[in-house]
Structure 1
Amino acid sequence: MNIITIDCGASFLKGALFEDEHLVKKTQCQAPKVNTNDWHVPTQINYLIDAVRSMFRELAQGYNDVVLCISNEMHGFILIDEDGNPYTDYISWQMEFGNVPLAGKNGMTSLQMLSAEKYRDEIMKSGMPLRAGLPNVNLLYLQHNLPWDKKKSVLRFFTLGDYILYGLSGKICCCHPTNAAATGLMDLDTGTWNASLVSFTAGSKIQFPEIGMEGITFHFEGVNVYALPAVGDQQAALFGAGLKGKDEISFNLGTGAQVSCLVDSLDFSDEYQIRPYFAGKYLKTIPHLPSGRALNVYFRFIKEIAAKFCPDIDDNNIWKGILNSVDHCDGSGMKCDLSFFANPITTRTKGSISNIGEFDFSVGNLFETIFRQMVDNFMMAAGIITSGDCNITKIVFSGGIARKIPFIREEILKHYHADIEISIGKDETLYGLALYAKEYRQ
């Protein structure tokens, strides 16, 4: 089986060609920045469509038949008009319209409106606690500030991966449960869109795709393509990293971090999210933990100083210097708060460094303090999702932070028994998509 996998992430667009389980070729390019100001102009989504087409051509060269699997960052969407043209650009989770007052609502926000007690059970059944940038919240904001109910034409709702498939094929594919659930508009009990939430947040002029797992066939520049519905990048990464059983725990540490485990049935709570996975299982997960995005706040500071004295220095050398300093530091009593954005650990959105001794403020001590605080956050999340009553037999590490910073892995391992099985993913999202193709190709 010839498999093309494409991962549309927040930082990079990555692609790979597999022949069965054998990785033949990889490629990647920079993802465009989120179009936060002129989001009604489809610059980002048009760039992505062109980039995916180019990547697909490169990977499919020399092949007549391929299976295509796409993953995407979750919690984003795009609306298109009846002619198939973008009505909005890609509305990312980073565009937190839920914090912006609604037109004509006396200062109320869409986040506040959806937080009303009458929607509590509906939100709980979505498995997705409210956040300012979720599609359900952003759609409600757009409905009040762009009253599309007054338009004659009907708009269509797409998650990112589904729209990319539409751009390649001209066909509307099913929305996979992993992506549908990430909108906050799915009823996990029934496996369908929640009609009352969709009506309230999106109005009556937006059509939603069917939720399902059936693929589509199409031809692209002489290549016969069978495409499965796009899946969420978290699930694809954990699938590729080897998360399979209920006595395993995942530390997926990338731009953001999630700590997750698998359960066989729905288990709703305000303390964590519950998301569809593969093979009928569900992820019990705590996402949005400070990780690479928070770490970059401090890295940019060190990089700015380093560049003043050595303009040609690159990021890799700076990181080598930082990690070497951590290995040789004596430790300190410094404290660090990584709350630079909304997170499940604190209610703050500003970070801080405190308890600095006279001789403590070194690069090594600073980053050791940051790493330890990250580990403390991860272990707090692990305690919540496992409730301390299961015997963890395997730890699945994935994401760039987990791979590149051994100190963090070693500190996490100190909390588990010495002979625990360890898996460290590499290209886990691309491999997860290839596994998805092999197991779900109809």
Structure 2
Amino acid sequence: MKSIGIDIGTTTISIIVMNTADFTIEESCTLDNGAFLPSSRPWERIQDVSGILRKTQTALEEILDRTPDISSIGLTGQMHGIVYVDQAGTAVSPLYTWQDGRGNQPDFRQGKSVCACLSEDYGVKAASGYGMVTHLYNVQKGLVPREAVSFCTISDYLGMALTGRSLPLLHISQAASLGLYDCRTHTFQEEILREHNALPPALPCVTPDLLPLGYFRGILVGVSVGDNQASFLGSVRDAEHSLLVNIGTGSQISMLSDRYCEALGIESRPLTRDAFLLAGSALCGGLAFAALERFFREYAAAAGAPDVPQFETMKRFLEGTDLSADCWNVRTTFSGTREHPADSGSVTGIRLENFHPASLIRGTLNGMAEELYALYTNIIRETSQAKTRLIASGNGIRKNPALRQILESRFQMPLEIVPHQEEAAVGAAIASLAAAKTLSLNQWLGLAAGAPEGGEQ
């Protein structure tokens, strides 16, 4: 039999077909999302829901038409963002993505933002782009559609469309990503929403278990899981000893824990009833290297060179050089941090003898690694759970040998690249097999047989 995994990312939509006998990938396709909508607000980042749904469902139908023996369909996608749905389960708003900046706008109350008010009034940490932050702003500004009865993530909405559900059902991994969620009791903090007249629309129903959401063309569709959790499932087979680092548009470290943890810059994201992913994210991540490429390209074009990507040239600067050599100290917080979104990056350590492009390029890669290592040390300080295996995923690492070397050196662990590229889609397929009760997550993650499974048995 085979299982399909679908990952609705911010820039791409990925679909894989996995053989469930040996977990090899038999087919994969990646589509350009291309769904961002124009906006007069520079901080607004919204996407076309119908376009995403149409493109994804068309690709899925084509795969099903030519591929027999599909036993399950798993879903994942960009976390945090929300789409409002009406009583029939149809989208009545754009997708407000995780990159949306309305939560940081100082026009929510008395010159303060939603995020600032939540922190000051309730001691709640929630970043702009989190669904509940977006919802509170929309309520205050009268932007919630009158027909809206609830809301959910984009991959949850895909699940509704495939199975004909009229109301969303969110796995705890997706529910927690919206913010205002207590991961220990698995409940939303409804009292805060009530104080701001943000109910109704009703909160989505939540399940701690990997359950069947319904069926599409007679095939079981599993409840959607958060893309961080899905990527972990699609990358790690020895969870007890492994630290996962991912560098793509953003960057992130993730490790499994059997208990909730509070540490600076770290979120405890539920994976099952009894297990959490301790996740730390750098908002810029791979975008730091992309921004540096744009800098070089802009100069080259102004000097009369063709306006073409400069990544290969940047890599040649690093070839045959000592990556531990004297380079610039680059703090790559070019997009701020979760705790301090107004933060900026910095560059120091420049001297005449190291005033070379390679010093800036190496310094930027060092800064990207240092951001992640600092988050890892915050986890170790709170949990004393050091890891011995560094598992790496994401094109930002795959395509950059110098960055791989820098990560190995900084974390003092050998780095292992995940063999397949669509980790989140693979993890979604694995989660759907767990929902179908044909796979044990404990066995998949290499955990002890006596450890809690975290789902219905």
Tell me the distance in 1 between the aligned counterparts of 2:128 and 2:46: 22
Residues 244 and 160 from structure 1, CA distance in 2 versus in 1: closer, same or farther, beyond 3 angstroms? farther
Q: Secondary structure at the match of 2:169?
A: coil
Determine if contact 1:60/1:66 at 8 Å carries over to the other structure.
Answer: no
Paired positions, count: 424
- Give 5+ residue unaligned stretches, structure 2: 438-457
Q: Counterpart amino acid of 1:215?
A: P
Tell me the distance in 1 between the aligned counterparts of 2:407 and 2:197: 42
2:53 aligns with 49
1:135 aligns with 131
Determine if contact 2:270/2:276 at 8 Å carries over to the other structure.
Answer: yes
Q: Cα deviation per residue 1:99-131 (whole Å; 9 max; x = unaligned)?
A: 22446x4323222221234x22xx3xxxxx321
Q: Secondary structure at the match of 1:116?
A: helix
1:97 aligns with 102
Q: Cα offset for 1:13?
A: 0.8
1:2 aligns with 2
Tell me the distance in 2 between the aligned counterparts of 1:407 and 1:299: 15
Q: Counterpart amino acid of 1:277?
A: L
Task: Please give the residue correspondences for 1:339-418 in structure 2 after superposition, counting only pairs within 5 Å.
Answer: 339-343=333-337, 348-358=342-352, 360-387=354-381, 389-415=384-410
Tell me the distance in 1 between the aligned counterparts of 2:287 and 2:120: 31
1:327 aligns with 319
Q: Counterpart amino acid of 2:114?
A: S
Determine if contact 1:34/1:92 at 8 Å carries over to the other structure.
Answer: no
Tell me the distance in 1 between the aligned counterparts of 2:181 and 2:267: 13
Q: Secondary structure at the match of 1:259?
A: strand
Determine if contact 1:75/1:134 at 8 Å carries over to the other structure.
Answer: yes
Which stretch of the first structure deviates more once superposed, 166-175 or 50-59?
Answer: 166-175
Q: Secondary structure at the match of 1:369?
A: helix
Which stretch of the first structure deviates more once superposed, 325-334 or 291-300?
Answer: 325-334
Between the aligned residues of both structures, percent identity stands at 20
2:110 aligns with 106
Q: Secondary structure at the match of 1:439?
A: helix
Tell me the distance in 2 between the aligned counterparts of 1:179 and 1:357: 48
Q: Cα offset for 1:53?
A: 1.0
2:185 aligns with 190
Tell me the distance in 2 between the aligned counterparts of 1:191 and 1:347: 27
Q: Cα deviation per residue 1:214-268 (whole Å; 9 max; x = unaligned)?
A: 213334xxx3221111111111111111154333212122111112221102223
2:25 aligns with 23
Which stretch of the first structure deviates more once superposed, 251-260 or 422-431?
Answer: 422-431
Q: Does 1:214 align with 2:214?
A: no
Q: Secondary structure at the match of 1:431?
A: helix
Pick aligned residue for 1:78 from 71, 80, 83: 83
Q: Cα deviation per residue 1:34-86 (whole Å; 9 max; x = unaligned)?
A: 33627999861111011111110122123375411111111100112334443
Q: Counterpart amino acid of 2:317?
A: S
1:126 aligns with none
1:174 aligns with 169
- Give 5+ residue unaligned stretches, structure 1: 124-128
Tell me the distance in 2 between the aligned counterparts of 1:226 and 1:19: 16
Q: Counterpart amino acid of 1:74?
A: M
Q: Counterpart amino acid of 1:24?
A: E
Q: Secondary structure at the match of 2:74?
A: strand
Q: Cα offset for 1:178?
A: 0.8
Q: Root-mean-square deviation (CA), in Å?
A: 2.9
Q: TM-score, normalised by structure 1?
A: 0.86
Q: Cα offset for 1:270?
A: 4.5
Determine if contact 1:17/1:26 at 8 Å carries over to the other structure.
Answer: yes
Q: Cα deviation per residue 1:146-169 (whole Å; 9 max; x = unaligned)?
A: 1759x5x55221111111122233
Q: Cα offset for 1:134?
A: 1.6
Residues 260 and 305 from structure 1, CA distance in 2 versus in 1: closer, same or farther, beyond 3 angstroms? same
Tell me the distance in 2 between the aligned counterparts of 1:374 and 1:255: 12
Q: Cα offset for 1:320?
A: 2.5
2:142 aligns with 146
Which stretch of the first structure deviates more once superposed, 328-337 or 46-55?
Answer: 328-337
Q: TM-score, normalised by structure 2?
A: 0.83
Tell me the distance in 2 between the aligned counterparts of 1:133 and 1:370: 26
Q: Counterpart amino acid of 1:185?
A: L
Determine if contact 1:162/1:175 at 8 Å carries over to the other structure.
Answer: yes
Q: Secondary structure at the match of 1:268?
A: coil
Pick aligned residue for 1:435 from 430, 442, 453: 430
Residues 34 and 202 from structure 1, CA distance in 2 versus in 1: closer, same or farther, beyond 3 angstroms? farther
Q: Cα offset for 1:338?
A: 1.8
Tell me the distance in 2 between the aligned counterparts of 1:376 and 1:412: 9
Tell me the distance in 1 between the aligned counterparts of 2:227 and 2:362: 29
Q: Secondary structure at the match of 1:273?
A: strand
Tell me the distance in 2 between the aligned counterparts of 1:167 and 1:34: 20
Determine if contact 2:72/2:433 at 8 Å carries over to the other structure.
Answer: no
Q: Secondary structure at the match of 2:96?
A: coil
Q: Cα offset for 1:15?
A: 0.9
Tell me the distance in 2 between the aligned counterparts of 1:354 and 1:266: 37
